[in-house]
Structure 1
Amino acid sequence: MRMPGTDLSGRIERRPGPGTRLNGIYEIDELVATGGMGEVYGGRALETGSRVAIKMIRRDMAEDERLLALFRKEAAALHLLQHPAIVRYYVFTTDPDLRCPYLAMEFVEGESLLAIARRRPFDGPAVRVLLRRLAAGLHAAHEVGVVHRDVSPDNIILPDGDAAQAKIIDFGIARSRLDGSTVIGSDFAGKANYVSPEQLGLYGGIVTAKSDMYGLGLTLVAALLGRPLDMGGSHAEVIRKRQAVPDLDMVDAGLRPILLAMLQPRPEDRPASMAEIAAWADAEPGARAPQARPRWRGLAFAALLAAGAAVAGVNFSLPPPAPAILPTSTGPAHPQDAALEELKSVPDAPRAPNAEADRPETPPAEPPPAEAAQESAPAPHDGAFRDCAQCPEMVPVKAGSFAMGSTADPTERPVHRVTLKRFALGRHPVTVREWKACVRDGRCAPSPEGEDDAPAHNLSWDDAQAYVGWLASVTGEPYRLPSEAEWEYAARAGTTTRYWWGDRFRADRSDCRKCGPAAPNPPSVGRFPANPAGLGEITGSVSQWLADCWVPSYRGAPADGSARTTRTCRERVLRGGSWLTEAEAQRLGSREFYDATVRYPGHGLRVARSM
């Protein structure tokens, strides 16, 4: 699964200035801050006038895959989170004119916790307020499987200097419990002075919610002291300082017990969750700090430890029965409740060199025999028709059943049997010529770019709905967007391989980002062979909007191939990948989603018609 808008290569054409409009949604007012990797602008939403923060990658770094992946990580993490202590996410997309990826989010005015603490250290009651609010916010993140991994005083903003309004920002290196790596790498991410022992590979090296607990503990100590504890230095010193609890004699005595619990070197010795820490902050001063759950070492070993502890005066305990991060959910069926697996959409770094299956392959001199394993295929494309002169050519697809999904990604599971009625699907994505007919009737916008035979692109789901509505009105036929099941059934055309032609990507079957020189528009239709059902540009042309609301798994998916929809879903599904995407995104099982109201250059549509 991919979060669309992730193919953001291409140099930013110019630096945005005051008055620059982005996607017709936001307008930039001023440059607020410039950092090592990005720029943050203040702006406003054109519809409401609300203030927004607009984060962009610096122009000189706009082609760095690792930084783009970092940016996507932040967007996907924020998309999951809704809590007063976490900065609100609005949209992540690319402006087609600037060719500039940006993240629009809540505009939070205020200084960082670190800047305020350096001028005036916080007292115990104020830090208790911080502890309650930040622990609750991080617990909300952990509940949906997101670990921040970089909790530090400069990633916390205090509007009006008020601890009760503290906001956590910068989820750029956040990690999902469904995806074990980060864009920076699985071994380390975060600032050295606040990083947990396990982020350095100690004590098993497994990063969980308890890593944020450790970072929050050091952050609160810095707030109390007006300076960070000295936890940095050489690599050896950084590790040595995390093999024991730091000296906390100088901090507020009322907070010392909870901070000692949070800063235990071994993750299993820290409290069970941020919820326990927030509850402690809500309790009366002097309440006992939450302790780790018992650690089981085995009866004989436990007895030995107990004997040693009796001599040394050390308390040993038994391990927790489950990891700190929440167990896997059975998965929500409603689109608005479903975001647990979204971060799997974001690639962490450029693909490893051994990813042979997705490397574009030079076409052989003679086409090889058909590689694709066959299931029951849809009908061949005999009987294609048009309902009007300006209508797309439609290919009938016979009724049948197939196994939908794959095991390649959590969002593509479970594989399940779907049985479909007969329907028709456009032979190609809707072209510029076909789109222009709707524009002339005053029913579609925007005016399309590109050659007449190229797919219409830079379309939102709302745009696609306007087109099929117009088509239905001029023909009197039930035109609509395909369901996700209809798309995959017709795209596979009876095959069970990664691509309809086989398991290895072939550059003579589909366009892709690395298949040739970069192009501003998708290639004209008919350039590549059709699949066995007679459908062209299944992949590598434009990502095709579908009727379904985004749900991050197939749990509860209808067995009749109908679309999963609600009245209120914000994101809709796209399939097929575009000429801007990597080959992996063009697997027939690969899924993506996007805000239904926002246009993106790689998005277009293919129409369906009930039969």
Structure 2
Amino acid sequence: MSGEAPPQDLEAIATRFAALWQALSQADGELRPPAETRLLADRVRDALDRRVGRLEAVETSFIANSFALEAMVHDGALTQIHQLRHRDLGTLHALKALRPDQADNVVARDLLLREAGFGARLRHRHVAAATAALRLADGRPALLMDWLPSSLSDRMRKAPFRRDEVATIAAALLSGLEAVHAAGLVHADLAPDNLLYDGEDLATLRIADFGIALETGQRHADVDLARAGRESFSAPEQQAGKPLDGRTDLYASGRILQMLLERCADGQGAQDPLREDPLRELAGKLARPDLEVRLSSAGVALAMLRGD
């Protein structure tokens, strides 16, 4: 059959394979732990798949034996986000991992693993949560996520908004929040750079980055965070360090909508006291500082947006 190696080549490879397997499975004459052997075997497979001439001492170009590391797209104080490409499928993904110099930061590690657990509870078209938790070769935890190249923050710097675009963003944001709150969670960090979408379609907008999310009724002090959130979008109760619920996220969504309405290109963003503005009214009811008179749920806000 064409494509088969000559018998003498297979015999030579078999001899070398036996020596390779002995090197992988034994160290100083003793058997390695099975997990260590599997890790070494995976790295050999990586090298064979990439047809490299030698096996480097430290291999960082592949993650979990499946994803090629392509670029770092964010380098924060505690975490980094990388663009990955699946080695077989060619699909793009995002990887959120602790910075190498934060590998021993117990609080940051626990928060990342909590975020992975939250991702397991969130499956919604307007939520971009972690899809899997991985371990890097040096032991750092990392989160695998969908690749969404555009953020609302980027879009705000490019061009003004139309009012129908603001309404589309509001519908996606509130729909995603309804799912987050139904899962018993509070995002607690809504801001334009945590609202991502695919390409140019704002209707694909998704809520991302659950790094400081909480269970409903928790305070950030409960997870060893003295202060968390962004002042421009944090509700008064969050700034005061009180227990949070879904209404905290509604405040942030109202502030975001108010900001977008101020950037409308069609002349309807500015407030006109002589004209009713349902979208501005919705934003105002969401962003009320008084928790007791703020809209009570994302579902109520969605009904108001639809005019129900």
TM-score after normalising by structure 2: 0.71
Larger radius of gyration: 1
Deviation string 1:563-594 (CA, Å, 9 cap, x unpaired) is xxxxxxxxxxxxxxxxxxxxxxxxxxxxxxxx
Deviation, 1:33, is: 2.5
Distance 1:16 1:209 in 2: 43
Distance 1:217 1:262 in 2: 5
Deviation, 1:102, is: 1.1
2:205 paired with 1:166: yes
Output the amino acid matched with 1:167: R
In the TM superposition, 1:71-82 aligns within 5 A as: 71-82=112-123
Paired position in structure 1 for 2:260? 223
SS at match of 1:151: coil
CA contact (8 A) 1:53 1:106 kept: yes
SS at match of 1:154: helix
2:150 paired with 1:126: no
Deviation string 1:285-304 (CA, Å, 9 cap, x unpaired) is xx7xxxxxxxxxxxxxxxxx
SS at match of 2:127: coil
Output the amino acid matched with 2:292: E
CA contact (8 A) 2:237 2:244 kept: yes
Distance 2:262 2:188 in 1: 22
Deviation string 1:204-235 (CA, Å, 9 cap, x unpaired) is x33110000000111112222249xxxxxxxx
Gaps (5+ residues) in structure 1?
Answer: 1-13, 228-247, 288-611
SS at match of 2:145: strand
2:308 paired with 1:279: no
Distance 1:250 1:148 in 2: 33
Output the amino acid matched with 2:298: M
In the TM superposition, 1:568-587 aligns within 5 A as: none
Output the amino acid matched with 1:31: M
Distance 1:15 1:255 in 2: 55
Aligned with residue 212 of structure 1, among 249, 252, 269: 249
CA contact (8 A) 1:121 1:225 kept: no
CA contact (8 A) 1:80 1:144 kept: yes
Output the amino acid matched with 2:287: L
Output the amino acid matched with 1:99: G
Distance 1:221 1:25 in 2: 43
Distance 2:263 2:76 in 1: 23
2:75 paired with 1:38: no
SS at match of 2:233: coil
In the TM superposition, 1:447-458 aligns within 5 A as: none
Paired position in structure 2 for 1:587? none
Paired position in structure 2 for 1:175? 214
Distance 2:217 2:249 in 1: 17
2:294 paired with 1:270: yes
Deviation, 1:153, is: 0.9
Distance 1:191 1:140 in 2: 22
Deviation, 1:109, is: 1.6
Paired position in structure 2 for 1:139? 178
Paired position in structure 2 for 1:253? 277
Deviation, 1:71, is: 1.4
Paired position in structure 2 for 1:84? 125
Q: 1:15 to 1:79 in 2, by over 3 A?
A: farther
CA contact (8 A) 1:117 1:222 kept: no
Aligned with residue 146 of structure 2, among 102, 106, 121: 106
RMSD over aligned Cα atoms: 2.6
Distance 2:303 2:62 in 1: 45
CA contact (8 A) 1:158 1:165 kept: yes
In the TM superposition, 1:348-427 aligns within 5 A as: none
> Which portions of structure 1, spanning 4 or more consecutive aligned residues, are displaced by more than 6 angstroms?
none
Deviation, 1:103, is: 0.8
Deviation, 1:133, is: 0.8
Paired position in structure 2 for 1:341? none
Output the amino acid matched with 2:141: P
Deviation string 1:418-458 (CA, Å, 9 cap, x unpaired) is xxxxxxxxxxxxxxxxxxxxxxxxxxxxxxxxxxxxxxxxx
Distance 1:64 1:275 in 2: 38
Deviation, 1:47, is: 5.2
Deviation, 1:171, is: 0.4
Deviation, 1:257, is: 1.1
Deviation, 1:42, is: 1.3
Distance 1:39 1:16 in 2: 18
Q: 1:16 to 1:200 in 2, by over 3 A?
A: farther
TM-score after normalising by structure 1: 0.37
Distance 2:292 2:282 in 1: 15
SS at match of 1:161: coil
CA contact (8 A) 2:116 2:143 kept: yes
CA contact (8 A) 2:126 2:204 kept: yes
Deviation string 1:497-534 (CA, Å, 9 cap, x unpaired) is xxxxxxxxxxxxxxxxxxxxxxxxxxxxxxxxxxxxxx
Deviation, 1:45, is: 3.2
Deviation string 1:372-419 (CA, Å, 9 cap, x unpaired) is xxxxxxxxxxxxxxxxxxxxxxxxxxxxxxxxxxxxxxxxxxxxxxxx
Deviation, 1:250, is: 7.3
Output the amino acid matched with 1:269: V
Which structure's residues are more often helix, by fraction? Answer: 2
Deviation string 1:119-164 (CA, Å, 9 cap, x unpaired) is 3232222111111111010110100101000111111123223221
Distance 2:106 2:205 in 1: 32
Paired position in structure 1 for 2:26? none
Distance 1:25 1:39 in 2: 19
Output the amino acid matched with 2:215: S
